[in-house]
Amino acid sequence: MSFLARLFGTQSDPREEWRPLWHTIVEEARDPDWYRMCGVADTVEGRFDMITLVLSLVMLRMEREESLAPHTALVTELFVEDMEGQLREAGIGDPTVGKKIGNLMSSMGGRLGTYRKALANEDRGELAGALRRNVTLSQEDEAEALAERMIRLHKRFERTSAEQLRKGEVAA
């Protein structure tokens, strides 16, 4: 959508259809059990790691279905928009924001590839190792618990229909 169309409101923002899903991603990433029971550090870094973890699971689910795959870019744009706002709120200046967003996207892409492989094989050891490298943990021995909970959430997303996902709902 062009800047002028957004500015003058002549077209609706296609990302809005996916905002309920984005809110669900953030809500899931903020679930206190990730931090209490799975050892994720309750820090800015740990919270970012959880958003990228949950977003990765959503992306894996979306790319699996033809009707959802083209919309992964819109969900990613919501992620970038949110992260950019968080960086600015933290006092990061304009010249640095673009570079930091680029680094965040690179990090996200690497995690997505690692998680995709480990989840496809249901390799708990590989997944726990990836989580030790990619998630800020308060205790490293919690990576196995985090891997188990991640696998359970992945399976919930896999059971979630395309329509549920659009609404920001996740199967039980």
Considering the domain boundaries, does residue 2 fall inside one?
A: no
**How much is the pLDDT for 122?**
87
Instruction: Provide the strand spans (E) within the chain.
Output: none
What are the CA-CA distances from residue 19 to residues 5, 25, 54, 118, 151 (Å)? 19, 10, 15, 28, 24
pLDDT score at 6: 57
What pLDDT score does 111 carry? 93
**Token duo for residue 20:** 């309920």
Instruction: Provide the pLDDT for residue 168.
Output: 97
Q: Is 162 exposed, middle or buried (0-12, 13-18, 19+ CB in 10 A)?
A: middle
| pTM of the model as a whole | 0.89
Query: Which residues, given as ranges, of the chain have pLDDT below 70?
Result: 1-7, 9
Query: Within a domain: residue 9?
Result: no
pLDDT in the model for residue 89? 83
Residue 5 region, left (φ>0) first, then alpha (ψ -120 to 50), else beta? Answer: alpha
Assess if residue 117 is contained within a domain.
yes
On whether residue 53 sits in a domain, the answer given is yes
Query: Is 7 inside any structural domain?
Result: no
Residue 132 lies in a domain: yes
Residue 6 lies in a domain: no
Residue 37 belongs to a domain: yes
Full domain range(s) for residue 74: 15-167
Give, in order, the Cα–Cα distances in Å from 8 to each of 4, 15, 16, 57, 127.
Answer: 6, 17, 16, 35, 47
Instruction: Please report the pLDDT score of residue 1 as a whole number.
Output: 53
Instruction: Please give the tally of structural domains in the chain.
Output: 1
